Structure 1
Amino acid sequence: MTREELRLLREIQALEFTVLEFALYLDTHLDDQAALEEYNFYSQQLREVRMEYQERYGPLHIMHPSDYPWEYPESPWPWQIEY
């Protein structure tokens, strides 16, 4: 795993955490417009970083569109990734 791939994975993890925390907060603070704007901002950032990662290194999840032939088995298995 390259430094750039690891950097993107860490950024994805941080953004996933942030989006989840905002979602949990918004569950109990429905009228907090500023929090909703932050949630939308970080959700968009997460979407962009995931797309960048997947374009460079392959799918993050098995439920990902594939070209023909089926490509998922060609990506590294979890135990093959070195952190």
Structure 2
Amino acid sequence: MAEKIKIEVRLFANLRERFPKESRGVKEFEVLEGFSIDDLVDLIGEIDRSTVIILKNGRREKDFEKKLKAGDRIALFPPVGGG
């Protein structure tokens, strides 16, 4: 039987709207061991995987199949534009 682990998720810019306003874009999740970044994106809902920037524990992560571990910190950023 898979154990539950806790992870922290931080959403930035317009993605913050997916969490309650008082959370300020930060939420702790309790998920089953073996949960992947892809599973997390599904849980948060309607995020374009082709453009979102994901950091796992402060480092860019492009492998959405990467399994999460207890205490991981995940940050999601929308695409960035500029001039």
* TM-score band, normalised by shorter chain: under 0.3
Q: Which has the larger radius of gyration?
A: 1
TM-score if structure 1 supplies the norm length?
A: 0.27
Larger strand fraction of residues? 2
Larger helix fraction of residues? 1
Q: Which is bigger in relative contact order (C-alpha 8 A, separation at least 6)?
A: 2
TM-score if structure 2 supplies the norm length?
A: 0.27
